[in-house]
Amino acid sequence: GDTSNVPPSPAVPLLAAHARRMAHPLHVKLFFMVALAPCVSALLIPTVTRGEYTHGGFRCSYRYVAPASGHEDEPPLLLVHPVGIGLSSWFWERFFEVWRGSAVWAPDLIGCGESESCAPSEKGLFVP
């Protein structure tokens, strides 16, 4: 993901000065780990991109995660969320945070999430 806009933790200079006064090297490491954790986690969590397309006259939404380095040539995953009230591609949020493999596509099914709702009176009884 793009980390160019991730500011360093404001605590880093303060903790660095304090850590230098610490006697034990483990304390120094611990202080730097705590101070840099937000910056490091921003580097590790993949960027989720949202997009839209039209299918059968319906505006459909999806979420996409680019492949991790070294996995560009692997087949992508297609994750389909369960159907139910309030369910959408957000169902896969935790998966996106830990996946480090091929590309991932997660559509919002018609009538779910950011995709257009189906109105049978306008579009017919059968959803494409």
| Percent of the chain whose pLDDT exceeds 90 | 38
Tally of structural domains, the chain:
2
Predicted confidence (pLDDT) at residue 41 exceeds the cutoff of 90: no
Residues 71 and 109 placed together within one structural domain of the fold: yes
Residues 52 and 31 placed together within one structural domain of the fold: no
Question: How much is the pLDDT for 9?
Answer: 47
- Give 79-126 pLDDT, tens digit per residue: 999 888 888 999 999 999 889 999 999 999 888 898 988 766 665 555
Give 94 or 43, the one with higher predicted confidence: 94
Predicted confidence (pLDDT) at residue 73 exceeds the cutoff of 80: yes
Predicted confidence (pLDDT) at residue 74 exceeds the cutoff of 90: yes
Contact between 49 and 63 (Cβ < 8 Å): yes
Residues 26 and 55 placed together within one structural domain of the fold: no
Residues 22 and 65 placed together within one structural domain of the fold: no
Give 30 or 73, the one with higher predicted confidence: 73
Residues 60 and 103 placed together within one structural domain of the fold: yes
Please check whether residue 126 lies inside any domain of the structure: no
Please check whether residue 128 lies inside any domain of the structure: no
Contact between 75 and 101 (Cβ < 8 Å): no
Q: Alpha helices of 45-118 — where are they, by DSSP H?
A: 93-98
Name the average pLDDT for the chain.
75
Contact between 59 and 111 (Cβ < 8 Å): no
Please check whether residue 53 lies inside any domain of the structure: yes
Question: How much is the pLDDT for 112?
Answer: 87
Residues 37 and 72 placed together within one structural domain of the fold: no
Residue 16: which domain range?
Answer: 12-44
CA-wise closest residue to 123 among 62, 59, 52, 61: 59
Q: What is the pTM of this model?
A: 0.59
Give 76 or 56, the one with higher predicted confidence: 76
